[in-house]
Structure 1
């Protein structure tokens, strides 16, 4: 006998099956995401920043000392250090160097004297939690805003994003910042729909976590305030704007308390009267913009923020001025405003960009139904882009990480809309989702260097962007494996983070080639002849002259025209043969000559300076060193001649890059020579 199931019962059964399938898919996506992240955590060597982040996190947890790396707020660092608390670890002594340098030196010693990956891997697993939470938030936001299918599509796209996979397990603040930006805005949305003091309290807690994750967390304030205003305008109800503005101020007050809690409600950066180096007053006085220093000094005077937090805010202003930027084949003192928009279009996947390009269709078809959701998605993106575009901190698309969760929620909604609109549109959406997977699988595990197909793929990114867009120094395990396979002990290596991490930390014993940081900041030992032979490895960032400058300022410019023997992790270029490196050799002579002048060994200093000028006569740096030695020997006429040559070289090449570093020294030396 046939029994007809009621229509409503059949519908409920189908919906239950659909939800079960959706949950199986969600769990599967998170599992795949986790496996990819674990693989990255095992493969990538320590990058520029991880060791000193981890070192500082450990000092905060064990000694309540925030000085080592005050340039970054504490949340991610202490999360990374939590798994280390049960280990018996040796702490390095002070190097007697300024604070930022000591953090790098102490961090390297701390990590590699205690086992390297023994510390890094569990720390990275702890940081992976931020990625997993962000993934869940992307799903939850997509589902709440646009329905379960949109949430699943958003999650699907998110977990196959190469940028998230590159940074999602590193001891870095970028993904953590993205996590708490989305979490705060999502919680504020829930409050706007159904006001509750409990939801408001959670929103304040999350906003506070954003503040102690990365200094860009401060942007939560204008984002929430602008959302309140826009919502009031959209609803044409001033009362709505007033209510949400009041809620925003309550959230920010709570966030301020959370920030203080993470610093132990103590103003001083360290216990027992220990001081920052340089002190906060000295550091604020040295800011390039005195007005900014005065504002931060006011915060310090009234203890409105913890001392270490104020020091970190000042550090962001310092590095904006100090860091150079590589953009479309040239190094700039400060990157152009187009840097981050271009980086977004180069580093984002084409499926994401195409779905966003189709976003107006969602607005035209269903805009009225989703007006509030669009406000909460687009205002954070617009505010964040407006701020970073006008900043001078142009060193990596990773700083755009907070906008990606919002954009993936929107892209997932568009994909879901197409999946529901008939076979043709559904086929397009399915193709874009599949394309996202193929993109990731094709470049795995070299996610760091990802660039989309419209720009030529990963190996072409170096023509447009550098630094952490391609090379953050994460390739040493791959380099070690390559050299072991080649059985070639005679190698030379210009390694981008040399000093913060060193090749020998991973068993690589190549001769060291100079990098600006390794030579003048970390003062690493090296001897470089004008001609080198064998296998030469050059980090992509050094190949492009990210720190030194492009063109004649770059000692490795000649290698750009050569075809490499191999490219490791799309970020270390390998050459074999005999190569002239006169500027690199001259740099080493300049440093050694300057050290001998300090010891009053002027004759030997003069010989090295003369050799440097012979090797690189067009370098302002070599001419300046020779002039300084001659001045120390009171040979003023000869010194004047070389100061003038140094000045000419400076003006002939890139005065915008070297003026701040060398220009004042040259002018002071020339003035002294003229008056003698």
Structure 2
């Protein structure tokens, strides 16, 4: 039985990898990859961390590692690298498209890193689920991750979301194991897992609030109410918090080596000037002003500089988001015998639900909430929890057990069918009702159009023998690289390109929606920017992939 379930898991992994690879091969670079790929490569090749400091390095380094085995030209002799403060976008264009490199080769090899992390996430979801519900039921949440169009999309891009999901899942799992078996070994492993999570994405800082809350709750239900309640409770809480502090210290030590690699050739003088320029005057009020001042002070100090770079990235995230809601749940739980009994047998479940609740609350109240990908870190936990509910329901009534199990199998097959029918357009897939064709009406950017279809546009231009086409493109690709001088940069305020002898126009749907969708309160838009010279902007003559609308302007 164990062998059979592992064979099925292996097949799931192979299918997931195959779908990601063959989807990736058809796609151009998405917007964020333009910054992340050169950053990851520069950390390892140039040992310099000054590009893209607003994200931790682990995923980017995983993407950059395969590139070390290629003979690449990296533009370290240009102002974008040597003079600009975080000139990540310019360096990205120069590295991929203007340095004599094969851009598609770089993009595809860089994506192997995130794909490997996705496979590790699937395996880890299976391992955790197997402990909770057995090896066969564990396959269901594994399929949920492996064949979800959202994971198949973001799992093959060089972005931090899948890495964050992996880091958070691992950290919660090993912290739970420490609470269940508090010994030196489990404490060290929990600390290492926490550190790994912090190297994936700064949203993993939410783990601090989650772990504090879990430690306090778990401590309060451990003591006997008949004893000297307050004194004993305080002592027990203090013990758990002291151990949690050790976990955090281990995590901080784990962070250091990867940041230290990127500081070897990043001069203290440039790190100091870059840090001062990035922080500017954005953090003038306490308590963040103290962190900003400490970051600047550390940025040119030997040994301590790697922590300054981590702190700088955290501050850059804090510019855009509010982290003050993490401890909201501190007052929502009281110690009860029922809770104690529940946690004795369902600690993993409770911990997962608590983190999902905190993360969702934070996401709903954060000003930085730009799409589903920001919820990816909690989706594996939701799949595990949902499968646990299905399992309990299926086994509750022996008479209906077979029917309910058949329904679970149906869900299993349904998920696989969705993955196959959505192929290869996983990013624009919304759900069974919206599908892939109409999602742009509701949300764009990383939810639908991230620039993934530029290579398809080049194929369309070639197959239709188009000599000139106006292009308003959003993404990490570079139209002249794929289409040469056939691609003419064109925007609404340029007027109708037909008047300049250009009979075709291609517009990324993200750019189109920015031009024609109703504006939010307080925002205005020039009439010249609304493509009023197009007869019907939302009904193109052709669609390339899902995200580029093409119009034939001449009759």
Secondary structure in 2 matching 1:106 = helix
The aligned counterpart of 1:402 is: 377
Q: 1:440 aligned to 414, 419, 424, which one? A: 419
CA gap of 1:439–1:104, structure 2 versus 1, over 3 A, is: same
Moved more, 305-314 or 45-54: 305-314
The correspondence of residues 580-595 of structure 1 with structure 2, limited to 5 A, is: none
* TM-score after normalising by structure 1: 0.69
Partners of 1:205 and 1:547 in 2: CA distance: 49
Partners of 1:226 and 1:405 in 2: CA distance: 21
The aligned counterpart of 1:309 is: 310
Larger Rg computed on CA atoms: 1
Moved more, 483-492 or 236-245: 236-245
Contact 1:491 1:534 in 2 (8 A): yes
Partners of 1:397 and 1:158 in 2: CA distance: 14
The aligned counterpart of 2:332 is: none
Q: 1:87 aligned to 70, 82, 96, which one? A: 70
Q: Note if 1:539 corresponds to 2:508.
A: yes
Partners of 2:321 and 2:272 in 1: CA distance: 20
Partners of 1:541 and 1:278 in 2: CA distance: 35
Aligned-residue offset at 1:414: 2.9
Q: Note if 1:257 corresponds to 2:253.
A: yes
* TM-score after normalising by structure 2: 0.83
Q: Which runs of 5+ in 2 are unaligned?
A: 225-232, 299-303, 326-337
Q: Note if 1:65 corresponds to 2:48.
A: yes
1:184-225 alpha-carbon deviations (Å, 9 max, x no partner):
111112212222312221221121111121111222211211
Partners of 1:424 and 1:557 in 2: CA distance: 55
1:86-139 alpha-carbon deviations (Å, 9 max, x no partner):
333222123358746621111222123321122222221122111011001111
CA gap of 1:475–1:277, structure 2 versus 1, over 3 A, is: farther
The aligned counterpart of 1:150 is: 137
CA gap of 1:562–1:155, structure 2 versus 1, over 3 A, is: closer
Q: Note if 1:495 corresponds to 2:473.
A: yes
CA gap of 1:136–1:552, structure 2 versus 1, over 3 A, is: same
Contact 1:287 1:293 in 2 (8 A): no
The correspondence of residues 570-589 of structure 1 with structure 2, limited to 5 A, is: 570-577=546-553
1:58-107 alpha-carbon deviations (Å, 9 max, x no partner):
22213321112212211111111111223332221233587466211112
Partners of 2:241 and 2:50 in 1: CA distance: 36
Partners of 2:278 and 2:368 in 1: CA distance: 19
Secondary structure in 2 matching 1:89 = coil
The aligned counterpart of 1:480 is: 458
Q: Which runs of 5+ in 1 are unaligned?
A: 1-17, 322-336, 338-362, 520-525, 580-676
The correspondence of residues 422-433 of structure 1 with structure 2, limited to 5 A, is: 422-433=401-412
The correspondence of residues 383-394 of structure 1 with structure 2, limited to 5 A, is: 383-394=358-369
Partners of 1:462 and 1:229 in 2: CA distance: 44
CA gap of 1:225–1:140, structure 2 versus 1, over 3 A, is: same
Secondary structure in 2 matching 1:157 = helix
The correspondence of residues 487-636 of structure 1 with structure 2, limited to 5 A, is: 487-497=465-475, 500-507=476-483, 509-514=486-491, 531=499, 533-545=502-514, 550=519, 552-553=525-526, 555-556=529-530, 558=532, 561-577=537-553
Contact 1:491 1:510 in 2 (8 A): yes
Count of equivalent residues? 508
Secondary structure in 2 matching 1:263 = helix
Q: Note if 1:205 corresponds to 2:192.
A: yes
The aligned counterpart of 1:458 is: 436
1:369-406 alpha-carbon deviations (Å, 9 max, x no partner):
85312212111211222222222112222111110111
CA gap of 1:280–1:546, structure 2 versus 1, over 3 A, is: farther
Q: Note if 1:248 corresponds to 2:249.
A: no
The correspondence of residues 164-175 of structure 1 with structure 2, limited to 5 A, is: 164-175=151-162
- Give the number of the structure with larger relative contact order, counting CA–CA contacts within 8 Å between residues 6 or more apart: 2
